[in-house]
Structure 1
Amino acid sequence: MRFHGRVEGAARACDEPGCDQPGEFRAPGEGRANDFEGPRPYRWFCLDHVRAFNARYNFFAGMSPDEIHDAQRPFAGWERETRAFTGTGGADRPPRWADFTDPLDAISTRFRRATAGEAARKDGKPLSESERRALKVLDLPADTDRRGLRQRYAELVRKYHPDRNGGDRSFEKKLQDVIAAYTQLKGAPAFA
């Protein structure tokens, strides 16, 4: 009979004191935290002892009633503010284990490209490459706010619109580019 979760071929003994059966089923180890450096250690049990462990396991053990209530809310954790990606152009900082050999230079290229002289916004909101191109079309700096974006758009529409140029349609392509750039930027998170 095959059991879900069985890890065969491991030469571990059951972690239950006094048991000489092979430990083929893993269970959470002591402590709660999984951190970036890896998962918490597991305990390994035989089938009978993992069943007993599962029957007495209580995720909320050691928590106060308020902590249990907070953990069970449907939106628990969403109210916390996320960190701003300042100075990295939207890329995360390299992890601590990033000192391994990278013969194709695949990982470090991402961080060099993200920080290679691109002006960061003062509010920390990242801009994608296409959003930066749209700002260049409108001839605006990266740190423009929503109001400055609207003002520049209105100015350029008045400048390039055929009704303002005596019916001259030679600026039609520029007008389309301005409208496309504004449409993209007004929906961008940096200008929300």
Structure 2
Amino acid sequence: MMQRKSTRHRAFDPDPEAPQTYCDMPGCTANAGYRAPRSRDTLRSYFWFCLEHVRQYNANWDFYKGMTPGQIENHLRADVSWQRPSWKLGTRGGQVFNEEEVLDPLDLLGAERRKRAERRRSRPQARSATPDVLRTPLSTLGLDWPVAMEELKARYKSLARQHHPDANGGDSAAEERFKAVVAAYTIVRVHLEQSADLDAVKAG
């Protein structure tokens, strides 16, 4: 039986728009098949690398390097809303979203709603004390305040594996979700590290 050859572009295939040139990594003579942005200010201007060096470049890429937690938060808000008016999570143009309106035969929303309610009852004071700068990042990560560094890292690793573009066939929507997760993790991690440093200074 004759099998049809798949024409779907695989995640690790070279970019079909890659120029016929060598890798931009100095000293490398491999063909360049993978693009990478030159900087966060020139995302449409690319380096072109071979597979080995684009992996190395991406592993060291930090979009938010040099930015303060406040700048990261502002950038994340603008990126998520696409500069459009937005409303508090759970509302629609000022009207409260009613989960009961959603058809949920498997009770998925109901189960999650009960879990959230139990967490709120067990930590009512802690929830109200959530720092404003962390509300959106924690919501993105699905975490409540307070949160330990170990819990934060575990949640980040789980979401990063789930939404990484390579795990989703290079899907652009997955890439945007992955970027939001990375940004949220960075904000919370920096906040926890700064708080730990401050506590150490006070203790000393």
Task: Please indicate, yes or no, whether the TM-score normalized by the shorter chain is above 0.5.
Answer: no
TM-score computed with the length of structure 2 as normaliser: 0.32
Q: TM-score, normalising length from structure 1?
A: 0.34
Q: Which has the higher helix share?
A: 2
By relative contact order (CA 8 Å, sep 6+), the higher-ranking structure is: 2
